[in-house]
Structure 1
Amino acid sequence: MTITSDLDVTGFAFTRSAWVDAAPIRVYELISDVSAIGRWSPTASGVAYDDGDGPWPGAWFSGANRREDREWTTRSQVEKADPGTAFSFVVGGTGDGIVRWAWDFRAQGSGSLVRQSWRLLRFDPVLGRTLAELEALREYMAASVETTLAALAQWVAEQGGSLR
């Protein structure tokens, strides 16, 4: 069944979390440096802020992505940048974007609880043309986030105490 633009997309979201052995401000600095995401993400690479932009609301960046045999580039805009607390961006821009990626950071013990969320904001056929395709995308992205968070936690642990 082909879906239409009036599809209720509120169910196309998830949040995953991981404990990372670094202070919230340090984890925020790693995540908000979008050029570093390729260290941990199985999907994203070649991400960079536009010249003169950085981790602040309204800033734009581009990134290359891959999933199985598909490759594409995206343009994203930073929506929230609260050092040590939260970072989010919207693929396609905050005005009419299609996906929101968000992280929040909370001190927990000697490190941080890092929560990463993904939310489909509106239907766009580039993400899938059927309900089954959108559900498969959500499951793929959830697995990708789990991999990313585990890789981030491992990378931080390998850095030793240098990120505290």
Structure 2
Amino acid sequence: MTTTTANDPIEALDAADFAFTRHAWVDAAPALVYELVSEVSAVSRWSPDADDIAFDPEAGPWAGAWFSGRNRRDGRVWTSRSQIVRADPGTAFGFVVGGAENGIVHWEWTLTPQGRGTVVQQSWRLLRLDPVLGTTRTNLDALRRHMTISVETTLTALAQWLAEERRR
């Protein structure tokens, strides 16, 4: 095993080191949660970093479909293209930023029934290292920390939104 330092260049790093999973219980059935997270335009309701998300014309929440979205981080704004790689209604929804063939980040939502609700798990994993994400371990650790906070915020906001919808 190779030991790396904060300033090691990207070439000395392993993409597998940059991943995480977070989960939250929400007061809704897996089918409803799936409906919400697979309708990518709805994610901007809860995500602090993504908005203006839309499927390509005539695309939808199925494997192989593409969508675009605007992202924000550290004062920067950019548009990304993503391709759905998993669409299992009521169970899991996943996509790869950049597409299945040569993507850069894999996102996945998995849904597990628990009591009257669902444990929603959101995972983020770098598939390959690219200088656009950072050029040192310090940069990539900061990106992972930022994305972890973003996912925790998204899951909390989703749970709160569903609780408020239930009260209506």
Contact 1:75 1:91 in 2 (8 A): yes
Select which of 133, 148, 152 maps to 1:146.
Answer: 152
- Once the two structures are TM-superposed, the CA of residue 145 in structure 1 deviates from its matched residue by 0.1
- Mapped to 1, the partners of 2:77 and 2:147 lie a distance apart of 15
Equivalent residue, structure 1, for 2:38: 32
State yes or no: 1:124 paired with 2:130.
yes
Contact 1:5 1:124 in 2 (8 A): no
For residues 51-73 of structure 1, give each alpha carbon's deviation from its aligned partner in whole angstroms, at most 9, with x where no partner exists: 00000000000000001311111
Aligned to 2:103, what secondary structure does the other structure show?
coil
State yes or no: 1:86 paired with 2:73.
no
Contact 1:61 1:77 in 2 (8 A): yes
- Mapped to 2, the partners of 1:137 and 1:4 lie a distance apart of 13
Equivalent residue, structure 1, for 2:111: 105
Equivalent residue, structure 1, for 2:143: 137
For residues 44-90 of structure 1, give each alpha carbon's deviation from its aligned partner in whole angstroms, at most 9, with x where no partner exists: 00000000000000000000000131111100000000000000000
Amino acid at match of 1:70: R
TM-score (ref. length: structure 2): 0.93
TM-score (ref. length: structure 1): 0.95
Amino acid at match of 1:7: L
State yes or no: 1:67 paired with 2:76.
no
Contact 1:14 1:119 in 2 (8 A): yes
Identity of aligned residues (%): 61
For these two proteins, the number of residue pairs brought into alignment is 162
Contact 1:127 1:137 in 2 (8 A): yes
- Mapped to 2, the partners of 1:60 and 1:115 lie a distance apart of 22
Contact 1:79 1:94 in 2 (8 A): yes
- Mapped to 2, the partners of 1:51 and 1:37 lie a distance apart of 18
List, as ranges, runs of 4+ consecutive aligned residues in structure 1 with deviation greater than 4 Å. none
**Cα root mean square deviation, aligned:** 1.2
Could you tell me which runs of 5 or more consecutive residues in structure 2 were left unpaired when the two chains were aligned. 1-6
Equivalent residue, structure 2, for 1:56: 62
